Amino acid sequence: MTRTIAERLDDPEAAQAEGRRKMDWAEAHMPILAELRESFAAEQPLDGERIAMAMHVEAKTAVLVELLAIGGAEVAITGCNPLSTQDDVSAALHAVDGVTSYAAHGVDTEEYYDAIEAVVDVDPTITVDDGADMVTHIHDEHPELIPQLKGGCEETTTGVHRLRSMADDGALDYPMFAVNDTPMKTLFDNVHGTGESAMANIAMTTNLAVAGKTVVVAGYGYCGRGVAKKASGMNADVVVTEVDPRRALEAHMEGHEVLPMNEAAAEGDIFVTTTGNRDVITREDFEQMADGVVLANAGHFDVEINLAELDDLAETRREVRDGVEEYALPDGRRVNVLAEGRLVNLAGPLSMGHPVEVMDQSFGVQAVCVRELAANPDAYDAGVHEVPDRLDREVAEVKLDAEDIDIDTLSDEQREYMDSWDHGT
Amino acid sequence: MTRTIAERLDDPEAAQAEGRRKMDWAEAHMPILAELRESFAAEQPLDGERIAMAMHVEAKTAVLVELLAIGGAEVAITGCNPLSTQDDVSAALHAVDGVTSYAAHGVDTEEYYDAIEAVVDVDPTITVDDGADMVTHIHDEHPELIPQLKGGCEETTTGVHRLRSMADDGALDYPMFAVNDTPMKTLFDNVHGTGESAMANIAMTTNLAVAGKTVVVAGYGYCGRGVAKKASGMNADVVVTEVDPRRALEAHMEGHEVLPMNEAAAEGDIFVTTTGNRDVITREDFEQMADGVVLANAGHFDVEINLAELDDLAETRREVRDGVEEYALPDGRRVNVLAEGRLVNLAGPLSMGHPVEVMDQSFGVQAVCVRELAANPDAYDAGVHEVPDRLDREVAEVKLDAEDIDIDTLSDEQREYMDSWDHGT
Amino acid sequence: MTRTIAERLDDPEAAQAEGRRKMDWAEAHMPILAELRESFAAEQPLDGERIAMAMHVEAKTAVLVELLAIGGAEVAITGCNPLSTQDDVSAALHAVDGVTSYAAHGVDTEEYYDAIEAVVDVDPTITVDDGADMVTHIHDEHPELIPQLKGGCEETTTGVHRLRSMADDGALDYPMFAVNDTPMKTLFDNVHGTGESAMANIAMTTNLAVAGKTVVVAGYGYCGRGVAKKASGMNADVVVTEVDPRRALEAHMEGHEVLPMNEAAAEGDIFVTTTGNRDVITREDFEQMADGVVLANAGHFDVEINLAELDDLAETRREVRDGVEEYALPDGRRVNVLAEGRLVNLAGPLSMGHPVEVMDQSFGVQAVCVRELAANPDAYDAGVHEVPDRLDREVAEVKLDAEDIDIDTLSDEQREYMDSWDHGT
Amino acid sequence: MTRTIAERLDDPEAAQAEGRRKMDWAEAHMPILAELRESFAAEQPLDGERIAMAMHVEAKTAVLVELLAIGGAEVAITGCNPLSTQDDVSAALHAVDGVTSYAAHGVDTEEYYDAIEAVVDVDPTITVDDGADMVTHIHDEHPELIPQLKGGCEETTTGVHRLRSMADDGALDYPMFAVNDTPMKTLFDNVHGTGESAMANIAMTTNLAVAGKTVVVAGYGYCGRGVAKKASGMNADVVVTEVDPRRALEAHMEGHEVLPMNEAAAEGDIFVTTTGNRDVITREDFEQMADGVVLANAGHFDVEINLAELDDLAETRREVRDGVEEYALPDGRRVNVLAEGRLVNLAGPLSMGHPVEVMDQSFGVQAVCVRELAANPDAYDAGVHEVPDRLDREVAEVKLDAEDIDIDTLSDEQREYMDSWDHGT
């Protein structure tokens, strides 16, 4: 029988107090969720909904979960990564009315999937995912729930990619919002959130300088360009690897050197993978690397750096520093891997995930999407849906309002001009 | 009877030599068009086509036009802006086999439209536009040509916007490629091309420092963010105005201050409009501005800065420096307008348009789109079409090849991984 | 009787093992000290010297201390800040042959000065300071030692400033090297070291985004411009306060807004003080600040933010997050202070001081300066001395060599040209 | 008999009107000189002085010269570079009461030195130089004037370097202010002035993109880091060459690649020399370069790129574009040299020198230094003098005032704290 976090901990109340303190800090810096909390409390838009969630369970996520409960939903949640759960936050969440948390730090693979199974017991009408583990689990193991599911939300590039593959195979049987792809998420969370937190975690975990280093960024999607941008901003010389020629050219035009990984391997001091793909750094790359290089992953899964091959090559392996595993190669070179190749900004010893404010935006979109699924259950077919523009825009307007930023509005003449086509040179 | 450029000039041969020298320089830095020239010469993909063009007639455009002629087409061309034509280049182009040029610098509005009409005499099968003046002229004045038109290409944000408005009105009667919107154009030409050339032109025309200035950028689309990026890179403090909340937030998260124009007006030293809309800076804004401000437009049409209102406000107006018109207000403040509010990187006294290499990319897309329309005339319905991804990608690959940049390719395992959805945490 | 770190700890051997692991990591990334270790071991340049040190006792410092011991010196050390000592490193250091460490974390003021007194028992011939506490203590309490002191080294801006004031008062009685002021230190440690580590610590301690924030940097010396540079690199909008008009202009020309603190107070989200002066942020500034602001100090002493005045204003005060003290003002606004206003990159809960590589440079200079004092005891008068250029250059050359960076050398003709003055236009 | 500019021109009045228009624009953007004009007019501090000048004669210099005349001086001026003189400005200057101008564009070497000789006829009490040609000419040819010379000012790095070499040889016989070295000059003019204008001139003269290019900057002094900074800001990948190990490390820590020139030669697309030395790019470098590279010089003299060696290597040479000389090598590679290897921001076809505002700062220092020499003729010995800090500071304060920038002032307590040394941890 899978245990809730409260059943796992020796002193759940102490944990809960500490978790609540963390949530308070996050909440104070999440103005979008604060604004939504007022309307959700008043209007109970989620009354009667049951929500199954698999997310990184830390303070910011907890503020979202609490918001959903305040909006009237019953919520069950577990982690989406064995190392990213903070037990104290999980405990504080479990103490919230209407919320059950099974998320626990450091569970093994069996426990991980058991917890997902436990969440499904909530008999969900809506799912919320970060990496698509819940939605795939339901399709695989609980097809009987699909008729009652109004829809779901997916947070990450990787998860949306998996969902699109499912949809292409005709295997996605209820509607999913690609929260990841909406401007309010991808332009902020991926670029600034991943960029800042990956680089700050690398700097703090290693205590190494970024200035003067060659940082190899694998992948130049939104996450990759965020990492490249922040690394450049800290005065690194950035090298980019890509498989798409347009993205490669974009990186080149930013002033970055573009190389195949096997050549970049010989140049880099720090490597950050952001591709969402497997085997981005492999044996033949390790063989090129200089002594003392640092490898970190900022993609969703821990498959980007092929650690099995590195382990094969290495003579010894030891934790040389908290969160840093040193693989010593026979010729004396040392390769340092951060956070076991898992998401460096979530799974490292100092990690707290993305900055609070960018998660406020992403979770603001999550909240209004959940609200939309509850309100308009028949509006969406099975498949992957973009977040409706009006919802994304609503979140942006709430944020501008919270930041006290005024912008211009189109006059009637301007609107007419933009809609017309008969003006010329 | 509209005259060709050769008929207009006193010494067309001298002009032609100078124009050819300019074309040679551009050609030497346009590796994509160089590569296409070989295949176009060998395969004659445009054999039998007649192409009507309205473009900025300067050296880079001329290299494209010559390529189309080399590919077998008969081409007639005129300008798309009265001030951007370089007569010597127009003359050199007119001397190319298969090309007739009516483009001349400084023509008035009547002559401008007469020249468009003259181009139509080529009896086109394909059109190429920069601002949509040719395509709208044909719809308005020569509907009889529409059945024979295989399609057209449009280069600019503004032109594509006009075409979409036409299409929304059911008024676009042949297929048009939105060349502007394709990654190989918009991510390079708009960002780096407009950004670099606008700022360099402003700096050189005024001989003022950019460092330490407050630069107000109106609009944060691809052009606007290019201008903001390059201005920041020259150590300006950038303020952004926007009407879209997401773009406003993006600008804010880059570190730019975001204000309504009427507040930005009081802060700015240099103003650059990039919105594609009219009346972006108006009377109430001029009234807020400090003495000595500089106004420049980097949007397609000269409607962004309301010069009529500025003229109303001003006591006197004089050209205080080549390309700089000073409007003296009654209270002693002076407002300096560059290039009469026309595209500052095309219509100024030193202007040569976008950098050669970014136009090589944009024109590479133009060339393969024209080739596509000739090859597959029935594949596209009337309306606005995105450039097919394979064409955009082809141009990117040619460019990477020319720059000697190698990139990674997906292994079969990686491709399979990206297509699968059953891998989990 | 003051206790050594070994006498203070319950399990000094466990601490020592952990401290050694930290030292190993640092040592692997300190190529300059590694190179010097070879020559110091071989040549024993410090044979017979006794060195009294007051430094931040963490892993990088420990690598320097060990180097001095390897070079033949007897070393006694204590901390130069009650919160920056890491007990495990102190224990590992104490276990090194020839080293005694009195440094312990969290000592009170009395214990702090007792430990300095205990260090003096080593009967020093050379002192090494970080903040000038040792040198001032010796002048105040142990003038009898001055005749035997060959000299000392001072690491920080603040310490050098104190020494110059002493010298101006005729109160500095032995020679001191201003290690802080030498190019190899100030251009790297202050700019990149302070800049990167301050911003990374602020980001990680708060889990807040830097992008889109207004960061107010007080002081635009080398540390301040480092913080401003890295904050801009993370996409903050940077505001600078200064008292020197040239530095103010420099900040302005970088694109930063320059304001008096009392106006900046109303604009900022994050404040970082780097002035070396007291009362940089005071009551009237706190009164202007927005709810939720974050205050951090990157100057040597904890006097820059006037916490007494903030405490007076506040109704309550609580640790709202590890390393974050929240002062709640009567009107509901909250002011968050990091690391109790002490050096944020040293005294915070996640802090590990400057990046390893920049300390390698600074400590490389320290090491060669100590060697110089031992070798040429009569070459320097009492007073503050610049580091001899040849020593600074030696360290730079070792570093370039370690990084495998080749540079050009002047030809004879070039050297002659540079020395001549009779060539003209 | 050397002719004044008025005697040289066919229509000096037309030239004078155009020159005055240029001066008006500059004057409107030179607030420091504007402020000084008021006090100079009122107080006539230069009454009775005779000033001999050799400067780049263009609009900004002219505003300085006019200021000196307004202050009561008689001024004679000529150019300091045959290509940087603008004849219309020279004519306008000649028309100013008390000013005689011999500066003319395109003079040959003999005429150049004849004009310097003619200037000496003014029987100077003060000299003002840009490159030290006047001061060396007087020492060589007119030692009889030295007793009456109160002193001189030198504007450039190169000139100050020549003066220091003279002083080292005991060959400098009157006092000279090293205007170049003062913070208000070197931190602004060299960094931002040279950086912005060099890059803008290169971009506009070639019409090539900077983004995506590898820009090799030779020398990482103030000019070099300015060029590197602005090139990076335009998204170039910057490579630096140096002979000083500290500067090389600084460049490395900024994120630039550092290479010897002979290796950089193979990597670069654009090369900019800023060293002040000769033969920075030579035959063996040309042999490494890619087809189509662009070479520009931003150092004072045209000796940095060895054009004689390039000419030797080349088969043909032609002006391929205004201001661009193409050297065609036997193997087909083309090397493009801008502005004949002279200062690219002064001697190119579009060049107007440094931005107005940075020259306002530099010339503000010049003006107060000339005033100081007139007021305190006995205060300075023969030799090179730093600009007194109070003068530099005065100019900074005037500038801040003109820009409406307020800064903080030290309180008595703060001043006391900074002067004290007995506060501790």
Based on the domain organization, do D341 and D367 belong to the same domain? no
- Across the interface, whether the CB atoms of A209 and C355 are under 8 A apart is answered yes
| A360 in a structural domain | yes
- Across the interface, whether the CB atoms of C249 and D400 are under 8 A apart is answered yes
Higher pLDDT, C1 or D258: D258
* DSSP for D65-110, written as a single string: HHHHHHTT-EEEEE-SSTTT--HHHHHHHHTSTTEEE---TT--HH
- One-letter amino acid for residue A115 of the chain: A
Once rounded to an integer, what is the mean pLDDT over residues D230-254? 97
pLDDT digits (tens, 9 = 90+) for B155-196: 998 899 999 999 999 999 999 999 999 999 988 988 999 999
pTM: 0.93
pLDDT digits (tens, 9 = 90+) for C346-385: 888 888 889 999 999 999 999 999 999 999 999 999 999 9
pLDDT digits (tens, 9 = 90+) for A247-272: 999 999 999 999 999 999 999 999 99
Asked if residue A161 lies in contact with residue A186, where contact means CB atoms within 8 angstroms, the answer is no
- Across the interface, whether the CB atoms of C407 and D260 are under 8 A apart is answered yes
Q: Which domain holds residue B44?
A: 5-185+354-402
Once rounded to an integer, what is the mean pLDDT over residues D329-336? 96
Query: Average pLDDT over chain D, rounded to whole?
Result: 94
| C425 in a structural domain | no
* pLDDT value of position C332: 94
Based on the domain organization, do C275 and C324 belong to the same domain? yes
Asked if residue A176 lies in contact with residue A200, where contact means CB atoms within 8 angstroms, the answer is no
Based on the domain organization, do B156 and B10 belong to the same domain? yes
- Across the interface, whether the CB atoms of A203 and C209 are under 8 A apart is answered no
The confidence band for B425, taking pLDDT boundaries of 50, 70 and 90, is very low
Q: What is the ipTM of this complex?
A: 0.92
* pLDDT value of position C353: 84
Based on the domain organization, do C86 and C51 belong to the same domain? yes
The confidence band for B421, taking pLDDT boundaries of 50, 70 and 90, is low
Residue B297 clears pLDDT 70, i.e. is over it: yes
| D411 in a structural domain | no
Residues of B in contact with D321 (CB under 8 A): 21-22, 25
Residue D424 clears pLDDT 60, i.e. is over it: no
What is the rounded (10 degree) CA torsion for D225, D226, D229, D233?
Answer: -170
Which burial class, exposed, middle or buried, applies to A347 when counting CB atoms under 10 A from its CB (0-12, 13-18, 19+)?
Answer: buried
Q: Which of C323, C384, C389 is nearest to C129 (CA)?
A: C384
Residue A137 is assigned to a ligand binding site: no
Residue A347 clears pLDDT 90, i.e. is over it: no
Of C237, C253, C254, the CB nearest to B255: C237
Of D192, D207, D324, the CB nearest to B235: D192
Task: Say which CATH number the domain at A255 has.
Answer: 3.40.50.720
| C88 in a structural domain | yes
Interface test with A, best of D213, D215, D232, D237 (most A CBs within 10 A): D237
Q: Which residues of D touch B (CB under 8 A)?
A: 21-22, 24-26, 28-29, 59, 192-193, 196-197, 199-201, 203-204, 207-212, 229-230, 232-235, 292, 320-321, 324, 334, 350, 352-353, 355-358
Task: Say which CATH number the domain at D146 has.
Answer: 3.40.50.1480
Which region among B6-15, C251-260, D344-353 has the lowest average model confidence (pLDDT)? D344-353
Which of B313, B331, B347 is at the close of a domain? B347
Percent of chain C past pLDDT 70, that is, above it, reads 99
| B365 in a structural domain | yes
Percent of chain D past pLDDT 70, that is, above it, reads 99
CA distance C92 to chain A (A): 15
CA distance B269 to chain C (A): 12
Structure tokens at A203: 């700097």
DSSP 8-state assignment for residue B144: G
Residues of D in contact with A254 (CB under 8 A): 211-212, 235
The confidence band for C421, taking pLDDT boundaries of 50, 70 and 90, is low
Distances (CA, A) of C153 to C118, C163, C166, C179, C294: 19, 11, 15, 6, 34
Based on the domain organization, do C169 and C212 belong to the same domain? no
- Across the interface, whether the CB atoms of C334 and A28 are under 8 A apart is answered yes
CA distance D236 to chain A (A): 5
- One-letter amino acid for residue D22 of the chain: K
- Across the interface, whether the CB atoms of D260 and C425 are under 8 A apart is answered no
Task: Tally the domains of chain D.
Answer: 2
Query: Average pLDDT over chain B, rounded to whole?
Result: 94
Interface contacts (C, D; CB < 8 Å):
174
Based on the domain organization, do C170 and C202 belong to the same domain? no
Percent of chain D past pLDDT 90, that is, above it, reads 90
* pLDDT value of position A344: 94
Interface test with B, best of D89, D207, D350 (most B CBs within 10 A): D207
Interface contacts (A, B; CB < 8 Å):
179
Residues of D in contact with C248 (CB under 8 A): 396, 400, 405, 407
Interface test with D, best of A254, A258, A269 (most D CBs within 10 A): A254
Of B235, B253, B254, the CB nearest to C255: B235
Higher pLDDT, A367 or A418: A367
* pLDDT value of position C418: 85
Once rounded to an integer, what is the mean pLDDT over residues D298-326? 95
Of C200, C208, C233, the CB nearest to A357: C208
Residue D170 clears pLDDT 80, i.e. is over it: yes
Which region among A98-112, A277-291, A408-422, C317-331 has the lowest average model confidence (pLDDT)? A408-422
- Across the interface, whether the CB atoms of C355 and A235 are under 8 A apart is answered no
Residue A7 clears pLDDT 50, i.e. is over it: yes
DSSP 8-state assignment for residue B343: B
Of A81, A187, A246, the CB nearest to B396: A246
Task: Name all chains with 3 or more CB-CB pairs below 8 Å to chain C.
Answer: A, B, D
Residue A226 is assigned to a ligand binding site: yes
Task: Name all chains with 3 or more CB-CB pairs below 8 Å to chain A.
Answer: B, C, D
Residue C34 clears pLDDT 80, i.e. is over it: yes
CA-nearest residue to B356 within chain D is D208
Based on the domain organization, do D340 and D394 belong to the same domain? no
pLDDT digits (tens, 9 = 90+) for B97-154: 999 999 999 999 999 999 999 999 999 999 999 999 999 999 999 999 999 999 999 9
Based on the domain organization, do B319 and B368 belong to the same domain? no
Interface test with D, best of B207, B324, B357, B403 (most D CBs within 10 A): B207
Helix (H) / strand (E) element for A157: namely helix A157-168
- Across the interface, whether the CB atoms of D254 and A235 are under 8 A apart is answered yes
Q: Which of B96, B114, B86, B119 is nearest to B9 (CA)?
A: B86
Residues of D in contact with C136 (CB under 8 A): 421-422, 424
Once rounded to an integer, what is the mean pLDDT over residues B42-55? 98
* pLDDT value of position B2: 85
Q: How far apart are CA B362 and CA C379, in angstroms?
A: 68
Q: Which of C12, C152, C18, C24 is nearest to C94 (CA)?
A: C12
Residues annotated within the binding site of D for substrate are 130, 155, 185, 189
What do you get for the CA distance between the two ends of chain C, in Å?
Answer: 74
Based on the domain organization, do D366 and D254 belong to the same domain? no
Structure tokens at B219: 């609009």
- Across the interface, whether the CB atoms of C406 and D261 are under 8 A apart is answered no
CA distance D360 to chain B (A): 11
Residues of C in contact with A25 (CB under 8 A): 207, 320-321, 324
The b-or-e profile of C280-289 (16+ CB within 10 A means b, else e) is bbbeebbeeb
Residues annotated within the binding site of D for NAD(+) are 156-158, 190, 219-226, 242, 277, 298-300, 345, 354
Q: Which residues of A touch C (CB under 8 A)?
A: 21-22, 24-26, 28-29, 59, 192-193, 196-197, 199-201, 203-204, 207-212, 229-230, 232-235, 292, 320-321, 324, 334, 350, 352-353, 355-358
Residue A413 is assigned to a ligand binding site: no
- Across the interface, whether the CB atoms of D253 and A235 are under 8 A apart is answered yes
- Across the interface, whether the CB atoms of A245 and B303 are under 8 A apart is answered no
pLDDT digits (tens, 9 = 90+) for B199-257: 999 999 999 999 999 999 999 999 999 999 999 999 999 999 999 999 999 999 999 99
Structure tokens at C360: 């390698």
Based on the domain organization, do C69 and C18 belong to the same domain? yes
Of A25, A29, A208, the CB nearest to C29: A208
* pLDDT value of position A425: 47
Residue D421 clears pLDDT 80, i.e. is over it: no
Based on the domain organization, do C26 and C144 belong to the same domain? yes
Residue C16 clears pLDDT 90, i.e. is over it: yes
Once rounded to an integer, what is the mean pLDDT over residues A285-310? 96
CA-nearest residue to B196 within chain D is D234
Once rounded to an integer, what is the mean pLDDT over residues C98-123? 95
- Across the interface, whether the CB atoms of D201 and B196 are under 8 A apart is answered no
Residues of D in contact with A267 (CB under 8 A): none
CA-nearest residue to A254 within chain D is D235
| A424 in a structural domain | no
Based on the domain organization, do A81 and A138 belong to the same domain? yes
Q: How far apart are CA D374 and CA D391, in angstroms?
A: 14
The confidence band for B84, taking pLDDT boundaries of 50, 70 and 90, is confident
Residue A424 clears pLDDT 80, i.e. is over it: no
* pLDDT value of position C423: 58
| D154 in a structural domain | yes
Once rounded to an integer, what is the mean pLDDT over residues B88-102? 97
Residue D174 clears pLDDT 50, i.e. is over it: yes
| B328 in a structural domain | yes
- Across the interface, whether the CB atoms of B417 and A278 are under 8 A apart is answered yes
Which burial class, exposed, middle or buried, applies to D104 when counting CB atoms under 10 A from its CB (0-12, 13-18, 19+)?
Answer: buried
